[in-house]
Structure 1
Amino acid sequence: MSTKDVMIWRSNRAGTHYVADTVVMEEPLEIRIRFQDSDGKWVERPLSITMRTPGDDQALAVGFMFTEGMLLKNQLDKVTIGLENTVTVHFKPDVRPELEKLQRNFYATSSCGVCGKSSLDSLGYTYETLHLAENLSPLSPELIGSLPQKLTEYQSIFDETGGIHAAGLFDWEGNLILSAEDVGRHNAVDKIAGKALMQQSLPFNQHILMLSGRACFELLHKALALNIPVVVAVGAPSSLAIETAERFGQTLIGFARDGRFNVYSGIHRVDALVLPKK
């Protein structure tokens, strides 16, 4: 269940009334892993706990591990639901996960994401490892401006609660491919990543990631893990998000609302007339 009904006191010009209201659910999810050790024995251990909105839990676990570099797309065997609020990601037989990465047993809040990243250098990306498409026709301002409304049409939980983030993956023609909602903005992107990995639909180097909130460093990092060349956000980008986009050649667009937007990096992917300075 993604929402919960509660009783509240609502005050307005007509007075104060005790009424029912719907709020978004937030609960912990324990992500566990199962793999074979060097002796061929199956081992299961906890990896992380994250706060999330229930729903698409398997995709969230897989996507989180993939975008954090702890799981490659050819290493996944299956994902199982265990006890309440527990998901186990199974590696394929004979796959030896990098335990030093898996030992980052941290508590990830629903608003934080990759807070442990201390610098851009820690990401490990280079222009050689990324495969951002560069030969596509520029995106029209009209198409970019239409994305927020298109994403809103799929935000069913937001319509009920008004308190949840959303992410949508669009193709170059502006068609929605995947979408997800979660109380955590990074969880919404991880759910998209997990769905893509389980559906074997990667990479997304000819796609656009649309965010319902602000564009933070951790979301640019996750988009890079998916090889997404364009990130569009309804809200503002952070300075480190801009620096990340510039460093790795992404197009970063913010304040996309009411047909307007700002381009902070990668203007070459936008079909816009740039007037010379006077």
Structure 2
Amino acid sequence: MSRITARRRVTRYTLGERTSRREDELTVEEPLEVRVGGRPLAVTMRTPGHDVELALGLLVSEGIVRNHDDVVGARHCTGDEASDGEFNVLDVTLAAGAPPIPIGARHALTMTSACGLCGKDSIDAVRQRSAYDVADDPITVDPAWVVGLPDRMREAQALFARTGGLHAAALVDIERDELLVVREDVGRHNAVDKVVGWAVREGRLPLRGTVLVVSGRAGFELAQKASMAGVPMLAAVSAPSSLAVDLASEVGLTLAGFVRGTSMVVYAGDERVRPATEHAASEHAASEHAASVALA
């Protein structure tokens, strides 16, 4: 198995102090080639670990996998089968009933940290391809609860504490207030794919009643991945892009950015965000109305 961290000699300069030389722990970055039925689909730069989840999450984003029933198995190719080194090629076998691979995804793609789709056609394509409708998920969230999610995710980031060089994504069950899974990677897309891939393996798609939390910005591609997995809310520590907001509005995804400290900004789907005091007042009014009707 590939290592997830590596040590390198570094020189540290601090103004007013002596220069020091020591070893530093870095996040490993290596390519992963994803194949489907032996045919190359994509090459992405990733942090080794949870590779099967990464591949499955990517396939969900591409509309090739809808749930765990679409997957027969996945394995690392080794020896003569691997073109890029041991454990850096992973082949997924799909079930007979899985959706056909879209024409645009039949040629191997090289993916970078800037990888994503653009334009109105892409928004239309996501809406048409997603097997799940996030707009009909009746979740409500308290903003005081949401702003605390990044800190909970950070506490579970074991690799970030060692290297400081990783993005993270987490999935939170709203009703149970439970952190279901946290994944880290050098690529923010990969971290989300690993979370979605975990959900595929656990048979949890669609991810109704959950919040996807990400450590960086919310670009179009992350909103796309949330929609394709049936996640009704995306919460990002940094800013969203305009296209991410457009997509969220189109498909009914609640999108919050700058989720940190004691505040957040809701860019789409703010009807789902209800302070606990407001929710309690609404329930009290409803109960009083019901009581008055009963007495009438």
Looking at secondary structure, tell me which structure has more strand per residue. 1
Higher deviation after alignment, 171-180 or 238-247: 171-180
| Deviation digits for residues 221-278 of structure 1 (CA, Å, limit 9, x no counterpart) | 000011111110100111111111111111111111112111111111111499xxxx
Q: Please name the residue that 1:62 is paired with.
A: 56
Query: What RMSD in Å do the two structures reach over aligned CA positions?
Result: 2.2
Q: Which residue does the alignment assign to 1:268?
A: 271
Equivalent of residue 148 in structure 1, options 130, 140, 150: 150
Q: Which residue matches 2:90?
A: 87
Contact 1:70-1:101 at 8 Å conserved across structures = no
* Ranges in structure 1 where 5+ consecutive residues have no aligned partner: 35-43
1:233 matches 2:236? yes
Distance 1:96 1:212 in 2: 32
Q: Is the 8 A contact 1:133 1:205 kept in 2?
A: no
Q: Which moved more, 1:119-128 or 1:244-253?
A: 119-128
Opposite residue 44 of structure 2, the aligned amino acid is T
One-letter identity of the residue aligned with 1:161: T
Which residue is 2:224 aligned to?
Answer: 221
* Structure showing greater Rg: 2
- Structure 1 vs Structure 2: percent identity of aligned residues? 36
What is the CA-CA distance between 1:151 and the residue it aligns to? 0.3
2:101 to 98, 103, 106: 98
Q: Is the alpha carbon distance of 1:22 and 1:70 closer, same or farther for their aligned partners in structure 2, counting shifts above 3 Å?
A: same
- Structure 1 position 71, deviation (Å): 2.4
- 1:75 paired to 2:70: yes
Cα distance between partner residues in 2 of 1:271 and 1:14: 51
Distance 1:187 1:128 in 2: 21
Residue identity matched to 2:173: D
Letter in 2 for 1:182: D
| TM-fit CA distance, 1:92 | 2.3
> How far is the alpha carbon of 1:60 from its aligned partner?
0.5
Residue 76 of structure 1 aligns to which amino acid in structure 2?
A: V
In structure 2, relative to structure 1, the CA distance for the partners of 1:141 and 1:78 (3 Å cut) is same
Contact 1:133/1:206 (<8 A) preserved: no
3-state SS of paired residue (2:184):
strand
Q: CA deviation at 1:115?
A: 3.7
Letter aligned with residue 82 of structure 1:
C
Q: What is the distance in 2 between the residues matched to 1:205 and 1:250?
A: 11
Contact 1:30 1:47 in 2 (8 A): yes
The equivalent residue for 2:207 is: 204
CA distance in 1 between counterparts of 2:25 and 2:157 reads 15
Equivalent residue, structure 2, for 1:190? 193
Partner residue in 2 for 1:20: 23
Q: Look up the equivalent residue of 1:49 and give its one-letter code.
A: V
State the 1:16 CA deviation.
Answer: 1.2
The code of the aligned residue for 2:252 comes to G
TM score, norm. by length of structure 1: 0.88
What do the CA deviations read for 1:133-163 (whole angstroms, capped 9, x no partner)?
A: 4433x31122111101100011111111111
Structure 1's consecutive aligned runs of 4 or more residues displaced over 6 angstroms after TM superposition are none
Relative distance call for 1:209 and 1:196 in structure 2 (3 A) is: same
The equivalent of 1:38 in structure 2 is none
For the structure 1 residues 260 and 94, does the alpha-carbon distance in structure 2 shift closer, same or farther, using more than 3 Å as the test?
closer
- Determine which of 7, 10, 13 is the counterpart of 1:5: 7
Within a 5 Å distance, the mapping from 1:110-149 to structure 2 comes to 111-115=113-117, 119-125=122-128, 129-136=132-139, 138-149=140-151
Query: 8 Å contact 2:126–2:228 — kept in the other structure?
Result: no
CA contact (8 A) 1:126 1:248 kept: no
Between Structure 1 and Structure 2, how many residues are aligned?
Answer: 263
Distance in 1 separating the partners of 2:145 and 2:66: 33
Q: Which moved more, 1:116-125 or 1:191-200?
A: 116-125
TM-score using structure 2 length: 0.83
Partner of 2:169: helix, strand, or coil? strand
